[in-house]
Chains A and B, each alone.
Chain A
Amino acid sequence: MIKLPDTICSPQDLTALILEIREYARWFEHESVKQRTGSSTRSTQPVLSVTTTALLRSVSTNGTLQPARLDSLIHELEDYKASAPTITLTLAAPAPERLKTELTAWCRTELSPNILVSFEYNRTLLGGMVVRYGSHVHDWSFRRALLTTNVKFSEVLARV
């Protein structure tokens, strides 16, 4: 099972990665054919993200890539996407990349090594998060804490 970098968090990130690799594989194949036929025309290499470049470097053999390897990589990634479990974290605001990476790393370390993490946001939570995995939903938001507090609100108001 391929190990994805923690920057690839959600199924959408994985889909974008697969599309990039597919485009690169198409360009690579065309360039290989041109090289074999001795054609002089060259096209520009598609721009890849840092993560995609790192992943391709990791799967290359002695610094070289083969089209077959790229195809097998694409198949592996598609199988990964189809079979990987998905957990959804709903936060009070859009999560920055650093936080996403941190939370994804924790989930892959503690829960499942091939887990994908989807991030959503809902301002009404005020803080904390809501975790949904399959049919299980855990609401650890500030709003739920306010609603389920044991301290009576009227008593708190009286003490103010």
Chain B
Amino acid sequence: MNTLALQIFILINAILFGAIIMLVIQHARVHFAEKREAKKPQKAPADLPTFDPTVKQKILHEAESSFRQVLDKSVNSLENDLINTTAKLRTQLEKFGHDAETEEAERYHKTLAELHDQAKTILGSAQTAIASHQTELTEKLANRQAELENDLVAKITGLEQELIARQAELQTELNERQAELEARLAKHHAELRTGFNERQEKIEAELVRHQTELESALKEREVSLAKIQTELDTSLASRRQELEAKLTEEMAKKRAFLTSQLEEKLSDAVSSFLLEAMQHSIDLGAQATYLTTLLEEHKAELIGGVKQDD
């Protein structure tokens, strides 16, 4: 419905647009034809009056303005016509659309009511059919159930009888097998007992033998250990003596070293004390003879050194 209205509206607009274009083309043809006429060199008839250029210009201006006025007027009238036509078309379309909408709505409601009635009748008939079918099914189900129950009872009794018979058979078989197994077990037990006794005797004999061997080996080991112990004791004693001697020697060395260190430190202390005590009071004048004597005593060394360096 809406598409139809839209299509009609588009058609009307296309018609109007075509009409406008036609008008515009006509006016343009007239305008350009006039211009062409104006451009063509006109043969001056003998009788026609000649104008001044200024007058010509004036006439041209007046003609142009009047033509412009005519054009404006025609454009305005066309515009007004277009607006009026558009308004009229809009009202017509609205009316048309409204009518079409109401008609469609009525038709829709009518169809809907018919369908509703139809559905109601169908539904009623379906319900009656379902009810009848349901009753049939319940009857059939009850019959079938009774049959199945009868069959089940018969089968249960048959199975119970079979089970009792089978149970009796199994019980006799079990008793036979049990007796057989007990006999075999007793036999195996006796065999194991004899084997076990034999093995035990063998093991005991071996144990006795091993014990005697071990005792002899142990005695030998004890003897060798005693020998080694005595050797270790003697070597330990000698080593101890050596270490003690070494320790006393090192102690003596250390003592001597510390003593020399102490001597040196004490000498340094005394020298520093003498130095601090004497300060600047050392008189070399008193040592002049001593110095000369010192040089005389070591003259050979000095002469040897001088000759060696020369």
A residues neighboring B (CB under 8 Å) = 85, 87, 91-96, 98-99, 102-103, 106-107, 110-112, 115, 123-124, 126-129, 131, 133-136, 138, 140, 143, 146-147, 149, 152-154, 157
Contact = CB atoms under 8 A, between A and B. Distances in A.
B294 A140 contact: yes
Contacts of A153: 262-263, 266-267, 270
B267 A146 contact: yes
B264 A126 contact: no
Nearest to A145: B267
Consensus secondary structure, chain B interface:
helix
Given A110-B303, A133-B309, A134-B309, A147 B291 contact: no
B292 A102 contact: yes
B274 interface: yes
Given A99-B291, A133-B309, A154 B263 contact: yes
A112 B305 CA distance: 12
A106 B295 contact: yes
B53 interface: no
Contacts of B268: 147
Given A85-B310, A99-B285, A153-B266, A106 B292 contact: yes
A91 B274 contact: no
B282 A93 contact: yes
B150 to A, nearest CB: 139
B190 interface: no
Which of A103, A107, A111, A135 has the most chain B CB within a 10 Å cutoff?
Answer: A111
A127 B306 CA distance: 24
Contact of B282 (A92, A99, A129, A143): A92
Nearest to A111: B306
Contacts of B308: 136
B287 interface: yes
A82 to B, nearest CB: 15
Contact of A123 (B267, B275, B283, B290): B275
A155 B310 CA distance: 45
B302 A133 contact: yes
B10 interface: no
B271 A146 contact: yes
B298 interface: yes
Nearest to B287: A127
